[in-house]
Amino acid sequence: MSRKRLPLPASLSILAFLVVGLSACGVNRLPTLDEQVKAAWSEVLNQYQRRSDLIPNLVETVKGYAKQEQATLTAVIEARAKATQMTIPADILSNPTAFHQLEQNQGALGSALGRLLVVSEKYPELKSNQNFLALQSQLEGTENRIAIARRDYITAVQTYNTELRTIPGRWVAALLYPDLKVRETFNISEQAKEAPKVTF
């Protein structure tokens, strides 16, 4: 007794139905979300690099006007060195220790830059220097870009982690993508939680 074979159009229809059914049930959603997280993270690193590239020129400009502020300049240089010399492991997004170390280094750099800009307020000649004004403007723009890139990364991670931890995404990950892990996200630093002190 021979088995009947389905005609070619029927076989193709069944195959198409299975492909559409699998894609509709979220099989591709986790890898798509994972790629969105990676892209958002790349933009965060790109903006950190942009800030780091501005610092040497900013420090040199301030140094010419504010020689007595050597401690502040040194703090900025050291914070930049620490932030740029950190080796970023491939698994940083799922490695809490490395992720938060990078976050701390970048936070220290941002804080040191903030102190440098506050110090510059004491020097009217520096505040009127065109090079300094241009660098300050670029730095402010970069800080805004960093904030936006971090926000986009946090949103991408929230969507990805939610999909990875809920059903059916949890089942799909267990069956097809066991190497996908929950991703780390940014915390608010203790310094950022404190209300700014204003003195007159």
* Per-residue pLDDT tens over the stretch 99-141: 999 999 999 999 999 999 888 888 989 888 999 999 999 999 9
Residue 7: inside a domain: no
Query: Could you give the CA distance from residue 189 to residue 120 in angstroms, rounded to a whole number?
Result: 25
162: domain CATH number is 1.20.1440.20
Q: List the one residue out of 136, 68, 134, 80 whose CA is nearest residue 111.
A: 80
Q: What is the mean pLDDT of residues 165-173?
A: 93
Q: Residue 60: which domain range?
A: 29-186
Residue 22: inside a domain: no
- Structurally, the chain folds into a number of domains equal to 1
* Per-residue pLDDT tens over the stretch 67-105: 788 899 999 999 999 999 999 999 999 999 999 999 999
Residue 16: inside a domain: no
